[in-house]
Structure 1
């Protein structure tokens, strides 16, 4: 689907956007990842644009409750 360089970029954006999210918050991380992938599929390739999409998705992501 994406070349290696783009895949690496998408993973780096996801990791940066979710740096404060626990690795155990899989539903939140999956939600953010899916929104970043959707944006990339639509042609968004700028780092800043992808980060903004990720941040927006993180605000609406399902989180585990204590």
Structure 2
């Protein structure tokens, strides 16, 4: 279980990176989320990881 502050940080990064991705595109959002979870805990680092994941997401997910 993760602490609420870390969870909120991850969610904020995911929401910002995926602001133009439909909530119904769950595959893309899951791909980005999994990469964010691998990143560091700085807000800028999480967003960078998320943007890279979004850029690298398979085209069938977009």
Q: Secondary structure at the match of 1:34?
A: helix
Whose helix fraction is larger, Structure 1's or Structure 2's? 2
Pick the structure with greater CA Rg.
1
Unpaired runs of at least 5, structure 2 = none
* Cα-to-partner distance string for 1:20-39 (whole Å, 9 max, x where unaligned): 00011110000000000111
* Cα-to-partner distance string for 1:17-57 (whole Å, 9 max, x where unaligned): 00000011110000000000111xxxx11100100000000
- Whether the 8 Å contact between 1:27 and 1:61 is mirrored in structure 2 is no
TM value normalised by structure 1: 0.84
Unpaired runs of at least 5, structure 1 = none
